[in-house]
Structure 1
Amino acid sequence: MVEPLVVVIVACEVGFWVVLGAGLLARYALRMRRLGAVLLLCTPVVDVVLLVAAVFDLRSGGEAESVHGLAAIYLGVSVAFGHSLLRWADQRVAHRFAGGPPPVRPPRRGPERVRYEWREWGKFVIAWVIACAVMLLLMYVVSTPEHAGRLWDQMRGMTVVGVIWLLGWPVYCTVREVIDKPASRGSDA
């Protein structure tokens, strides 16, 4: 049997994309910029619905399970990366359907790439902080610490993902930039 909170998480993900699509449709196809802006600003409402559903599930006797941690992670990622995702989609739709400029692409190399990678990882840190704070809130306010082992496991798992991301992208790009820089200076001489 599928847990009701899993259904809510899936519905919220679908809802996010529906609201995003409706906002972009209103903005570009229907030329209703204000309505489009309002719809795009409503995307965080989906996060509030998810948080309320998770709290309600726990308050009605549910134990803190992995699905509650997933709801917290979804909330953190949505808050931290949501604005970037909206901008990403808006640039592409504006370019494709409204004659807007080409979408901005991430830099390929150099100090700009290093800054980009650190900024993206910083968004992950924000997502991690939000997700862990929500999980702690769920553990200590709504559930009990004894019934929260799976949430601790998800915090550890998210931390591992963050460390892998840190080493694989920002640190790697920084080291590569430091190594490449002296080589390029030596070739100028």
Structure 2
Amino acid sequence: MVVGLIIACEVGFWVLLAAGLAVRYLLKWRRTSVALLLCEPLLELVLFVVTAVDLKNGADPSWEHGLAALYIGYTVAYGHYTITWLDGHAAHRLAGGPRPPKPPRHGLARARHEGRLWLRTLLAAAVACVLLQAAIWYVGDGDTSSLRAFQWTALRTLGVHGVIALTYLIWPKKAPAEAAAPSEESRTLTGR
């Protein structure tokens, strides 16, 4: 039941997002679009309540409950970021707005961008671990090994993303040389 609800929440997220952006940019109903987009957090609240009720009714803690916690953590950390990113693209495509800026591709600016994304992953892992720990305490003496395993999954994900983000700082990608300036080799070949 919980897995079906997670899938329904994910589908609902994208349906509400598409409806909110369509209403905003195609119909020009800004208030209605805000109302639709504000319904997004209700999906996570419903998932949280249903998961808690499922555990309260005696369901054994399983991977479904762990996945629900990870999903809620991810949505808390990356939901607004995703909505803002897609809103910028919809404004550009549907309303003639400016092209949204792309993330930096080189140097320290890219490392800062990756660091900010890692901080979002830190928030996602923290929310998931807190929810999982609350579920472990809630269940009490039952078998909570699957919930503990998902806590470790959240921490491993955080660690892997941290290593990836750190590589952008340690080995920053260099900006390509100006295309207009001829290289030393091409000047030698052409005699200029």
The percent identity for this pair of structures is 37
Instruction: Please name the residue that 1:187 is paired with.
Output: none
Correspondent of 2:100 among 95, 100, 103: 103
Quote the offset at 1:178 in angstroms: 10
CA–CA separation in structure 1 for the residues paired with 2:3 and 2:22: 28
CA–CA separation in structure 2 for the residues paired with 1:27 and 1:145: 50
Instruction: Please name the residue that 1:163 is paired with.
Output: 159
CA–CA separation in structure 2 for the residues paired with 1:47 and 1:176: 38
Higher helix share: 1
Structure 1 window deviating more from structure 2 (156-165 vs 6-15): it is 156-165
Quote the offset at 1:78 in angstroms: 0.1
3-state SS in 1 of match to 2:171: helix
Query: How many residues are matched?
Result: 175
Once the two structures are superposed, residues 67-91 of structure 1 have per-residue CA deviations (whole angstroms, 9 ceiling, x without a partner) of 1010000000000001100011101
Quote the offset at 1:25 in angstroms: 1.1
Q: RMSD in angstroms over aligned alpha carbons?
A: 1.6
Instruction: Please name the residue that 2:171 is paired with.
Output: 176
Instruction: Please name the residue that 2:15 is paired with.
Output: 18
Mark the runs of 5 or more structure 2 residues left unpaired by the alignment.
176-192
Change (3 A) 1:90 1:178: closer
Instruction: Please name the residue that 1:150 is paired with.
Output: 146
Once the two structures are superposed, residues 9-56 of structure 1 have per-residue CA deviations (whole angstroms, 9 ceiling, x without a partner) of 111111111111111111011110111111112211110010011001
Superposition pairs of residues 21-36 of structure 1, within 5 angstroms: 21-36=18-33
Q: Does 1:46 align with 2:64?
A: no
Once the two structures are superposed, residues 94-125 of structure 1 have per-residue CA deviations (whole angstroms, 9 ceiling, x without a partner) of 11111011122110012111110000000000
Correspondent of 1:57 among 54, 67, 70: 54
3-state SS in 1 of match to 2:22: helix
Quote the offset at 1:145 in angstroms: 4.7
CA–CA separation in structure 1 for the residues paired with 2:47 and 2:53: 10
CA–CA separation in structure 2 for the residues paired with 1:115 and 1:54: 36
CA–CA separation in structure 2 for the residues paired with 1:160 and 1:62: 27
Change (3 A) 1:39 1:178: closer
Instruction: Please name the residue that 1:122 is paired with.
Output: 119
Contact 2:106 2:173 in 1 (8 A): no
Change (3 A) 1:49 1:175: same
CA–CA separation in structure 1 for the residues paired with 2:77 and 2:158: 14
Q: TM-score, normalised by structure 1?
A: 0.88
